[in-house]
């Protein structure tokens, strides 16, 4: 059995090597690739994807898993090896449903669609992206159909990012929290508004980037095993064990853009930096789902980065770096400014109270596109109408509307919901952390985050993708994903800030 297990691990190792190569190609595409490289990059990614698909669907893999399954059931069910077999089985059964050609097709399609999206966004012209969006929706419908029968086509897509999660579950969770968030937003709208002028001073890019590096280091991002680079749409990428990269966007005239994206992406990268080398080059390497991933990024971005204790520590340093910009602004005024609630157009810059509404909008649209009740040609119209209905404001153009997010251009459908789920999970974890580390706020006030990171390493990161997301949340917090802690957190936080 040892021999068979090693054989399987060897194949999985090869697969990870290819996926990491593809990750670098993707990272480079967003950071440094010259415009002329689009087509050949698409080809390389298509070939890598196709080869990865061929390897992961090789009959040999199926036979190895089959041979190892009886043995695995005799092991400690939580052991790495037992989970490796379970998780590999799931991956294999999914992978064999997808023809390698289609994996190559996706890579070619999305590389070109992404280039079109970039141009469309820059020119704020949806028509440039529309033909590609058509192809992408059609591709996703075709992809979902490979997994028939299903309760809902969207289940198939969701499951790729959030193993075992169902569309119905997500809808139910969203239905429970939406009215409570809307009620809070209305209460805030009726309260005395916060002054956030301090955020709109001029913060030079190089100073912001130096500050971001300082903060990322402070919270525990390891620059020896990572780096930060500038992009249009920030992301974190795992290029291989010891190489986790974060990316950022800077707005010199709006403070929040850079700092919260860098803390957010650091959260993602620190998740991957916390996965032990013993899992690298196996099926268990990498975060277990996007919601769990997002719970990490949002925890650092919001629960640390938008908290009062953090700024009690860092605000004096900020003032030293930007004396002119922060002149006459007290800590409390600054804290309220970065937490100002206001329906806004751009998801990644939304405050915590309105953020989830951006997600619910996208979920409805994705399901509509997939079901065919929304036409790709009508998308900007429907986006703007639904946006206005949900958030009370209307985008003035496509760049700040339907074109704002990169995901669809990469063919990612069923992905957005995980952002809202991540918010919810972050609070479920946070409540547990507060129990386990009673003086957490004091530590924050001293700029000490190692105990927090160690907790996350131990409870979340070290497992890689051994446990499915709902099971992992249950193990740590005693219950599955639910929105109560998040709503309670929002109500407490904003009651204090807005004196509700």
Note the residues at the interface with a second copy (CB under 8 A).
13-14, 16-18, 20-22, 24-25, 28, 32-41, 43-44, 46-48, 51, 222-227, 229, 239-243, 245, 280-281
- Residues in the chain, total: 500
Q: E-strand spans in 356-493?
A: none
Q: How many CB atoms lie within 10 A of CB 89?
A: 18
Minimal distance in Å, beta carbon 488 to a second copy?
39
Q: 228 by DSSP, 3-state: which? A: strand
Closest among 290, 331, 210 to 465, alpha carbons compared: 290
DSSP label of 207? H
244 vs 418, beta carbon nearer a second copy: 244
What is the DSSP track for 164-198? T--HHHHHHHHHHHHHHHHHHHHHHHHSPPPP-GG
Q: How many CB atoms lie within 10 A of CB 210?
A: 12
Minimal distance in Å, beta carbon 21 to a second copy?
5
Minimal distance in Å, beta carbon 216 to a second copy?
13
220 vs 422, beta carbon nearer a second copy: 220
User: How deeply is 380 buried, as exposed, middle or buried, from its count of CB atoms within 10 A (0-12, 13-18, 19+)?
Assistant: middle
25 vs 374, beta carbon nearer a second copy: 25
Minimal distance in Å, beta carbon 34 to a second copy?
5
Q: How many CB atoms lie within 10 A of CB 440?
A: 22
Closest among 199, 310, 316 to 257, alpha carbons compared: 199
With vertex at residue 16, the alpha carbon angle to CA 78 and CA 2, rounded to the nearest 5 degrees, is 50
Q: For residues 294 and 392, what is the distance between their CA atoms, to the nearest angstrom?
A: 26
121 vs 245, beta carbon nearer a second copy: 245
Q: What are φ and ψ of residue 465, in 5° steps?
A: -105, 35
Would you call 333 a catalytic residue per the annotation? Answer: no
Closest among 342, 73, 95 to 200, alpha carbons compared: 342
Minimal distance in Å, beta carbon 32 to a second copy?
6
9-to-193, 279, 462 alpha-carbon distances in Å:
57, 10, 19
Minimal distance in Å, beta carbon 40 to a second copy?
3
Minimal distance in Å, beta carbon 22 to a second copy?
8
59 vs 324, beta carbon nearer a second copy: 59
- Locate 135 and state its tokens: 């192809």
156 vs 269, beta carbon nearer a second copy: 269
Going 473 to 178 to 188 to 195, the CA torsion angle's sign is positive
Catalytic residue among 265, 294, 352, 366: 265
Minimal distance in Å, beta carbon 29 to a second copy?
10
Q: Which residues contact 68 (CB under 8 A, 6 or more apart)?
A: 1, 4, 5, 8, 85
Q: Which residue do the tokens 């979902």 mark?
A: 144
β-strands 236-240, 226-230 pairing: unpaired
39 vs 388, beta carbon nearer a second copy: 39
Minimal distance in Å, beta carbon 184 to a second copy?
42
Of the CA atoms within 13 Å of residue 249, those in its CB half-sphere come to 15
DSSP label of 445? H
36 vs 499, beta carbon nearer a second copy: 36
Q: For residues 288 and 472, what is the distance between their CA atoms, to the nearest angstrom?
A: 9
For the chain, what is the radius of gyration of the CA atoms? 22
43 vs 448, beta carbon nearer a second copy: 43
Q: For residues 236 and 230, what is the distance between their CA atoms, to the nearest angstrom?
A: 11
Query: Which positions are catalytic?
Result: 265
């Amino acid at each position: 059995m040892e021999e068979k297990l090693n054989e399987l691990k060897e194949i999985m190792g090869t697969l990870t090597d290819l996926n990491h190569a593809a990750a670098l190609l993707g990272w480079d595409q967003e950071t440094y690739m010259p415009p002329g490289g689009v087509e050949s990059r698409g080809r390389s990614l298509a070939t890598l994807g196709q080869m990865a698909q061929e390897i992961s669907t090789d009959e040999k893999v199926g036979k190895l898993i089959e041979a190892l399954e009886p043995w695995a059931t005799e092991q400690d069910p939580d052991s790495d090896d037992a989970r490796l077999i379970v998780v590999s089985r799931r991956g294999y059964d999914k992978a064999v449903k997808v023809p390698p050609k289609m994996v190559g097709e996706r890579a070619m399609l999305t590389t070109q669609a992404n280039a079109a999206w970039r141009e469309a966004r820059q020119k704020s012209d949806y028509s440039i992206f529309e033909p590609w969006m058509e192809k992408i929706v059609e591709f996703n419908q075709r992809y979902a159909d490979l997994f028939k029968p299903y309760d809902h086509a969207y289940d198939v897509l969701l499951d790729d990012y959030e193993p075992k999660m169902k569309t119905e579950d997500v809808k139910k969770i969203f239905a429970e929290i939406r009215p409570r968030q809307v009620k809070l937003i209305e209460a805030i709208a009726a309260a005395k508004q916060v002054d956030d002028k301090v955020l709109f001073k001029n913060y030079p890019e190089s100073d912001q980037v130096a500050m971001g590096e300082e903060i990322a280091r402070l919270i525990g991002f390891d620059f020896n095993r990572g780096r930060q680079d500038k992009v249009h749409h920030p992301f974190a990428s795992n290029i291989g064990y010891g190489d986790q990269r974060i990316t950022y966007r800077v707005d010199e005239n709006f403070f929040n853009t850079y700092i919260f994206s860098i803390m957010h992406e650091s959260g993602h990268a620190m998740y991957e930096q916390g996965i032990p080398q013993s899992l690298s080059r196996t099926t268990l390497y990498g975060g277990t789902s996007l919601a769990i991933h997002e719970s990490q990024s949002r925890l650092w971005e919001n629960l640390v980065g938008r908290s009062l204790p953090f700024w009690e520590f860092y605000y004096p340093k900020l003032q030293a770096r930007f004396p002119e910009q922060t002149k006459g602004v007290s800590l409390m005024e600054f804290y309220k400014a970065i937490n100002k609630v206001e329906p806004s157009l751009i998801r990644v810059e939304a405050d915590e109270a309105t953020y989830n509404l951006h997600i619910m909008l996208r979920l409805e649209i994705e399901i509509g596109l997939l079901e065919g009740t929304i036409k790709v040609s009508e998308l900007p119209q429907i986006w703007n109408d639904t946006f206005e209905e949900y958030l009370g404001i209307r985008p003035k153009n496509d760049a700040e509307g339907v074109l704002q997010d990169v995901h669809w251009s990469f063919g990612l459908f069923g992905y957005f919901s995980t952002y809202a789920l991540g918010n919810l999970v972050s609070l479920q974890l946070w409540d547990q952390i507060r129990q386990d580390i009673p003086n957490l706020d004091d530590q924050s006030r001293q700029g000490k985050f190692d105990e927090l990171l160690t907790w996350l390493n131990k409870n979340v990161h070290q497992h890689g993708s051994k446990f499915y997301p709902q099971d992992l949340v249950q193990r740590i917090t005693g219950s599955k994903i639910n929105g109560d802690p998040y709503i309670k957190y929002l109500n407490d936080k904003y009651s204090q800030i807005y004196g509700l």
